[in-house]
Structure 1
Amino acid sequence: MNEQRGSDVRESIGELAQRLVAADTDGWTPEGMKAVAAELGWAWSDSSDAPVLITGRSSGPARLRPVGEYEKRYVDGESYVEIAVPVAAPAPDAAAQAAAFRAAKEEVTAALGEPSVMGSHGDMGPFYDSEPHWGAPFLRWRGRPNTLELRAGKSGPELVLQPTGPAENWFWRQGVGEEHSISGFFGSNRDEANIGLGFPGGWTARSWETVTRSLGDFLGALPAETTALAVRIGMPFYGRDSRSAPLLFDVACGDRLSIACFAPDDIDPAALGWGTVADHPHTASVFGDDDPVWRVDAGGPGEPKGHALAEMLVATARAAGVSDPTDLIVGGEAGYVDGYHVTYYGLGLPTG
């Protein structure tokens, strides 16, 4: 093993995670960051707009994110808000990206234990950063003063060390009630590390056009994100009409996305785009062969046509008598995912 660990390509992702968590960032000052770079055996470069740390890893250099226009209102004396270290460089397709993220999760979890927070950033990452097109899953090992996040980066999974306060302050302030003010989903478990964790408010979809967009974004990325996170989501949707709120849809997603439809007898699901088990044989392992009759297999990572699926669900809900977006309700059962309590901020739909 080389003396300079930062240039040692044999250092595992788990070992890197342990060293990042143990680093003394000293208030995230310039001096503190240079000391961290030296401690990790990384070379400091000021050749770009933001400092780059040469790690010697084949996946590329680490990046420091300085406090700028979008970060300054959320900090308390810090000069930087994260160190992002690429840990893999998979092919750009969703399946390869999700598999690389999942492999990194397994290594970090073996080193640090189960993450205390998991979710998806949706289309808006911390401090308004743009997210990968295939999905935006993340896992966090929350701590004080710093938190380690495994994040889907532009080219592959990244380990991101960040001061806990600014990142959570940014997230908490997004819940302003305007449509699409916050996206993705956020789940926390009962780990004592989450004591004091704050949760933002949500927003409410005010039109079916908004529901179509938010639901399409969610469904399009869902199998890639659940594959990456190694979780399975079961999400019933209920449609409130003038008399009751019967079950309309059942969304099930692990490594594939399957959706069942429980349409009233007076509408024609086939005309709205739904098929049967004969059309979608993969759904037999999820819903059985006979009931419900109507279903769709949307595929695995990168395969779902999110907007088209959302249009089909919205058209079916409206045909079933759901007159307003606030009457399309996400079942409370969806809020419990593998030990995490999850809020689906990006949907803009009520939960009940």
Structure 2
Amino acid sequence: MNTQRGNSAQASIGELALRLVAADTDGWTPEGVKAAGAEMGWVWKEGAHGPVLVTGRAAGDARPRPVGEYEKRYVHGESYVEIAVPLATPAPDAAAQAAAFRAAKDEVTAVLGDPSVMGSHGDMGPFYDSEPDWGAPFLRWRGRANTLELRAGKAGPELVLQPTDPAENWFWRQGVGEEHSISGFFGSNRDEANIGLGFPGGWTARSWETVTRSLGDFLGALPAEATALGVRFAMPFYGRNSRSAPLLFEVVCGDRLSIGCFVPDDVDAAALGWGTVAEHPRTAAVFADDDPKWRVDAGGPGEPKGRALAEMLVATARAAGVSEPTDLIVGGEACYVDGYSLTFYGLGLPTG
């Protein structure tokens, strides 16, 4: 047992991922979860806030999550819904957290291949969990019985072994159409592992205040989440008026967030807060010097002022003749990112 614990404590993130995928939880029974921990060389211990598996790893002990009040509606005989293993404890700032997540992603991908699911939990994770302020990216290697998830934990990235059905059942049943009923974004690729994967219905923003909140949350976290996931977003937004639906904004985000504005000439963009390439020189690497004329460089991980950016975009859209939230449309091109088909549930905006 001590030898196993030593090996587990020293295992790389990639090795840990392989061992978790191979673990047998016997249907997530109490005995099965304890036995799976023992096979990893971990010691079961009852803690003040529930059971822990003492791993000997520097980032901390693993946490089996028993079925409780918020989980019981979504299980079918499982007694536990996950084993979460901390991987690192970086500094709390967004840049450090995103970098640690990306490093873990690279190690897991090297041994398991590309994840079948990619996304962000937004401000509400499975079973109504709150999420870190800097962002909530996640990746999943989906299996028929069990799924391995890399997620942003409260203190740093975590590898989470979970039964596939409960978390997906929870997600599916959030599609009730109420504002903010689903947050974040969710994407899947063409991996055969995704056969049978269900997608809930979304919700529609009914007021400009709702759009401001949802767009602010999204933009504020986007550079950190894009950096963590290792992807680049290119998102056109169209504004439907009484005559047509022209391009209004282009949101581009890799390790920095840049937003271009194609506002009509009769709108005072400068008064609304937009600048030119002279004021935002970093945008020259994203947009041509004068196309669009108006733009903003919102910064890297942790730097965007999400609420202020959203207020500027909403004010600009309304000044350009967009009268209702349902007339601000996310271009369909935005939904294809690095081989994944994405749904931006948390925005509450139509896609077209």
Classify the TM-score, shorter chain.
over 0.9
AA of the residue aligned to 1:60: G
1:179 and 1:321 map into 2 onto residues whose CA distance is 24
Is 1:19–2:16 an aligned residue pair?
no
Partner SS, residue 133 of structure 1: coil
Is 1:121–2:98 an aligned residue pair?
no
Q: Deviations over 1:227-276 (max 9, x none)?
A: 00000000000000000000000000000000000000111100000000
Runs of 4+ in structure 1 displaced over 2 angstroms? 5-10
2:139 and 2:181 map into 1 onto residues whose CA distance is 21
Partner SS, residue 282 of structure 2: helix
Match of 1:291 in 2: 291
1:6 and 1:193 map into 2 onto residues whose CA distance is 33
AA of the residue aligned to 1:118: M
CA contact (8 A) 1:232 1:254 kept: yes
Alignment of 1:1-352 (within 5 A): 3-5=3-5, 8-352=8-352
1:259 and 1:9 map into 2 onto residues whose CA distance is 44
1:230 and 1:50 map into 2 onto residues whose CA distance is 34
Partner SS, residue 231 of structure 2: coil
1:326 and 1:208 map into 2 onto residues whose CA distance is 10
AA of the residue aligned to 2:61: P
Shift of the alpha carbon at 1:7? 5.3
CA contact (8 A) 1:65 1:81 kept: yes
Q: Deviations over 1:269-303 (max 9, x none)?
A: 00000000011001000002121100000000000
Q: TM-score if structure 1 supplies the norm length?
A: 0.99
AA of the residue aligned to 2:241: D
What value does the CA root-mean-square deviation take over the aligned residues? 0.9
2:256 and 2:291 map into 1 onto residues whose CA distance is 19
CA contact (8 A) 1:7 1:55 kept: no
AA of the residue aligned to 1:247: L
Q: Deviations over 1:1-21 (max 9, x none)?
A: x83146544310000000000
1:344 and 1:291 map into 2 onto residues whose CA distance is 26
CA contact (8 A) 2:212 2:314 kept: yes
CA contact (8 A) 2:52 2:62 kept: yes
AA of the residue aligned to 2:45: S
1:283 and 1:47 map into 2 onto residues whose CA distance is 51
CA contact (8 A) 2:277 2:289 kept: yes
Q: Which runs of 5+ in 1 are unaligned?
A: none
Shift of the alpha carbon at 1:114? 0.3
Identity level (%):
84
CA contact (8 A) 1:7 1:42 kept: no
2:162 and 2:181 map into 1 onto residues whose CA distance is 23
1:7 and 1:134 map into 2 onto residues whose CA distance is 33
Partner SS, residue 286 of structure 2: helix
Shift of the alpha carbon at 1:34? 0.8
2:34 and 2:307 map into 1 onto residues whose CA distance is 46
